[in-house]
Structure 1
Amino acid sequence: MSLRINDVAPNFTAKTTQGTVNFHQWIGDSWAVLFSHPKDFTPVCTTELGYMAKIEPEFAKRNCKIIGLSVDPVENHQSWAKDIEETQGYLPKYPMIGDSDLAVSKLYGMLPAEETGTSEGRTAATNATVRSVFVVGPDKKIKLMLSYPMTTGRNFDEILRVIDSMQLTLQHKVATPVNWKQGEDVIIAGSVTDEDAKKLFPAGWKAPKPYLRIVKQPR
């Protein structure tokens, strides 16, 4: 299944470390980050899960929930969580999906739909493509998709930055420039005419080019 930004995130019901979850119901009126792993007890993923446990309060500040997925049974996740706490200093308190039947991985296009079997006997290399991040909005639509190789740890600070940008630009008629961070200048959206921009941004803007109108970040 090929997914694109603004597609409705496929709904599913799955077992997690916090009981059975219906994804859309679990999201509710929040934002959500679904991030996947090819197998339990893998080194790079261990560091990622620990870091997400550390910065979970930052996602909560942004009304964003976290849910992980790994191609192994939930029971394995419980044991892995102890290792994560021991080695990373933080215990994951967010739910972890057990995708031992490969259903969610296939639903999200991380494994081929025709893939057969279960997690039994599969290796991290077999599941190498199950290393994606999906950010889903309260409207249940996919807002961001990122996929990483197994040997490269993900930058979850970047996910926070993108959520800040998306939430800001949904509320105000602006876009954020390259490497933007919270509090820095933004760009008036191209869909806004100069006439409307005068009403929205009465303090004015800098325009090195007519199409590049730079203003202070709205509060």
Structure 2
Amino acid sequence: MSLRIGDIAPDFTQDSSVGPINFHEWAGDSWVIFYSHPADYTPVCTTELGRTALLQQEFEKRGTKVLALSVDPVDSHHGWIEDINETQQCVVDFPIIADADKSVAKLYDMLHPNASETVTVRAVFFIDPNKKVRATITYPPSTGRNFAEILRVLDSLQLTDSHKVATPVDWQDGDDVVILPSLTDEAELKQRFPKGYKAIKPYLRITPQPDK
């Protein structure tokens, strides 16, 4: 059964490029981006893991750990990481799950038989510190992910957790946001949004991003 937004991300213990990982213990109280790639020694995956390594500081700024997975064995990961570091001019130091028995891929529904019966699709899970799945994105094996979008979604989730706002279409960090319709108390509105807001409709109230 596929995981849905709001579900608890299943725990697991599996080997990885940095040794055995118990997922919930490893995640701790951090946000986690957990994603699958179809196979080691493939071109699109090489660029994706390289980009992840180059963005490590961005993920760290957001209190987020990154975990990758494919159904290759751990010795394959070790050899491939050398290629990634060489070709993408980076240092891959985040874990890559070696899911050779496909147990984690099945647990997270990363195997889509109509796309491939042998490798995982490009699934992305946004998991919060309470181990809840907060968002998912799934790409086919042939399409590389947009990591700017992954960071954008992560920023949106973290912002909306800390303020009673939602992020509108095409929102980027620093843009105006919308106030949740459930927030109606005028005193609370003034306290939360001292810069004020524009009410286009009773349900559509625009305000500057609160944490900027």
Q: Tell me if TM exceeds 0.5.
A: yes
Output the CA distance in 2 between the equivalents of 1:208 and 1:69. Answer: 45
Equivalent residue runs for 1:101-180 within 5 Å: 101-111=101-111, 125-180=116-171
Cα offset, 1:180, TM superposition: 0.9
Cα offset, 1:83, TM superposition: 0.9
Cα offset, 1:125, TM superposition: 4.2
When normalised by structure 1's length, the TM-score is 0.90
Cα offset, 1:163, TM superposition: 0.9
Output the CA distance in 1 between the equivalents of 2:127 and 2:102. Answer: 21
Asked if 2 retains the 8 angstrom alpha-carbon contact of 1:105 and 1:130, the reply is no
User: Unaligned regions of 5+ residues in structure 2, if any?
Assistant: none
User: Unaligned regions of 5+ residues in structure 1, if any?
Assistant: 116-123
Output the CA distance in 1 between the equivalents of 2:87 and 2:142. Answer: 18
- Which amino acid in structure 2 is aligned with residue 126 of structure 1? E
Asked if 1 retains the 8 angstrom alpha-carbon contact of 2:195 and 2:208, the reply is no
Q: Which of these residues, 183, 206, 211, is aligned with residue 214 of structure 1?
A: 206
**Equivalent residue for 1:15?**
15
Cα offset, 1:166, TM superposition: 0.8
Per-residue CA shift, 1:40-61, capped at 9, x if unaligned?
1111111000000000110000
Output the CA distance in 2 between the equivalents of 1:178 and 1:9. Answer: 27
Asked if 2 retains the 8 angstrom alpha-carbon contact of 1:5 and 1:144, the reply is yes
Asked if 2 retains the 8 angstrom alpha-carbon contact of 1:39 and 1:127, the reply is no
What root-mean-square deviation, in Å, do the aligned CA atoms of Structure 1 and Structure 2 show? 1.6
Asked if 2 retains the 8 angstrom alpha-carbon contact of 1:128 and 1:149, the reply is no
**Equivalent residue for 1:67?**
67
SS at 2:47 equivalent = helix
Cα offset, 1:111, TM superposition: 2.5
Cα offset, 1:204, TM superposition: 2.4
When normalised by structure 2's length, the TM-score is 0.93
Cα offset, 1:128, TM superposition: 4.8
Which deviates more from structure 2 when the two are superposed, residues 131-140 or residues 82-91? 82-91
Instruction: State the percentage of identical aligned residues.
Output: 56
